[in-house]
Structure 1
């Protein structure tokens, strides 16, 4: 029998399909690395650790502790991850106001994610020379650039602004073409795809894929093939499996 203090605050990590109290082989968030365990309601459960009812700083240490618990849970269960920093006041609140209230929705989301994993993919252009090549390939850009070479900056102010806009548009057009070439290859291998914002000038793709666990090897092989096709011009970074944050919609309310 696991002895649990029902009245303390509970830091929340995830929802899983589980009908009993179980200890998870991980250390929880907070400085003393508390025990991680489940709080069940019918056949679903919240994964928690005891915690003061306080706001957690988004430090590297805290974020890693949160992620490591999720990674441990993922080894055995389908996971609905809960965003970092959620603390419920006690066990009754979790059972009554979260698990019971949202039971049907939680079961539906667990069913949707059974046997699925999330993989992240980021792709980057690798060389500054690539941007110059784009400019050289566009006659209008090349003509405008050559026309202002050697002229004082104050006399060509607007031409330089126009040149920057044209180069930016050409880069965006090339990014769209390269991105679609990559995503059109990988999209059929996934159950769902979400594109994220482009974060740097060199980034071409920033995406999350939900796929069947048994399709992971095929997906990895497809990414390696694309890497070989683009050669040294691009860098592919694939991350995962990770908790399916991008494909889960959990809302929390203690009122």
Structure 2
């Protein structure tokens, strides 16, 4: 139980389409044992649970609790996920400031997301394979690399810098080519694509796709075919049927 002097509010998980005050089985965030339930306005509802008005750390336990609720709700509803850690002052604020005040905006988003899921795809090169491809395709890189054999790093300092620049430039071009090829195969099947930041040298693609549920198996098949075709050059990490985090950005500010 929270300490008596801590104010209690409502933790937000997501928005759904419902005119009934539903309840859910998942355990609420923060180990409060509060019932996860829906607060309703017209045909929209916010899935919430009672919570101390605190700033939640993004620990594995808290993130898992948040995600588990979303996964349960997704089984039966289209959801608009609310970002982790949002606590409303009370149930009235959720209904009046969120559902009622922003009803038209949320309705439009819900209409856009109805029948859709998010799929995620990351692709990573096997560095040795791609480096070999780059060297084989570039006489300039090959010649410069070979000229350094048997020479000390000190006497070839600037040549090594030049070699690194040539390889980096070639890898950038190859990354763009490979990413374009992958997206060309998938994008005819999806409604929208988010290209997120590529965060390592090995990473070729970091994309999220908004897909109608009836096309999900077709995207699965294309990813399998890409893996069979390109699996010796790169590794694919594919995540299916996730909440549409990359396509819904609900910013929440409560009146003071």
Tell me the TM-score range normalised by the shorter chain.
Answer: over 0.9
Match of 2:218 in 1: 218
| CA-atom RMSD in angstroms | 1.4
Cα offset, 1:127, TM superposition: 4.7
1:106-145 superposed matches below 5 A: 106-145=106-145
In structure 2, C-alpha distance between the alignment counterparts of 1:231 and 1:244, rounded to whole Å: 27
Structure 1 residues 189-240: Cα deviation after superposition (integer angstroms, max 9, x where no partner) = 0000111111222111110000110001111111111111113222122102
In structure 1, C-alpha distance between the alignment counterparts of 2:167 and 2:116, rounded to whole Å: 41
Match of 1:34 in 2: 34
Structure 1 residues without counterparts, runs of 5 or longer: 1-6
SS at match of 2:231: helix
In structure 2, C-alpha distance between the alignment counterparts of 1:167 and 1:100, rounded to whole Å: 56
Cα offset, 1:175, TM superposition: 1.1
SS at match of 1:150: coil
| Farther-moved stretch of structure 1 (227-236 vs 51-60) | 227-236
Contact 1:98 1:253 in 2 (8 A): no
In structure 2, C-alpha distance between the alignment counterparts of 1:175 and 1:154, rounded to whole Å: 31
Cα offset, 1:41, TM superposition: 1.0
Q: Does 1:249 align with 2:253?
A: no
Cα offset, 1:23, TM superposition: 0.3
1:36-51 superposed matches below 5 A: 36-51=36-51
| Farther-moved stretch of structure 1 (83-92 vs 155-164) | 155-164
Contact 2:190 2:209 in 1 (8 A): yes
In structure 2, C-alpha distance between the alignment counterparts of 1:237 and 1:127, rounded to whole Å: 16
- Normalised by the length of structure 1, the TM-score is 0.94
Contact 2:38 2:47 in 1 (8 A): yes
After TM superposition, the runs of 4+ consecutive aligned structure 1 residues lying more than 3 A away are: none
Cα offset, 1:102, TM superposition: 0.6
1:160-239 superposed matches below 5 A: 160-239=160-239
Structure 2 residues without counterparts, runs of 5 or longer: 1-6
Alignment length, in residue pairs?
Answer: 249
Structure 1 residues 171-197: Cα deviation after superposition (integer angstroms, max 9, x where no partner) = 111111111111100000000011111
Structure 1 residues 21-52: Cα deviation after superposition (integer angstroms, max 9, x where no partner) = 11012111012332100011111111001100
Match of 2:4 in 1: none
| Farther-moved stretch of structure 1 (31-40 vs 203-212) | 31-40
In structure 2, C-alpha distance between the alignment counterparts of 1:23 and 1:121, rounded to whole Å: 33
| Farther-moved stretch of structure 1 (14-23 vs 129-138) | 129-138
SS at match of 1:215: helix
Cα offset, 1:125, TM superposition: 1.5
Contact 2:82 2:249 in 1 (8 A): no
Contact 1:23 1:37 in 2 (8 A): yes
In structure 2, C-alpha distance between the alignment counterparts of 1:65 and 1:31, rounded to whole Å: 9
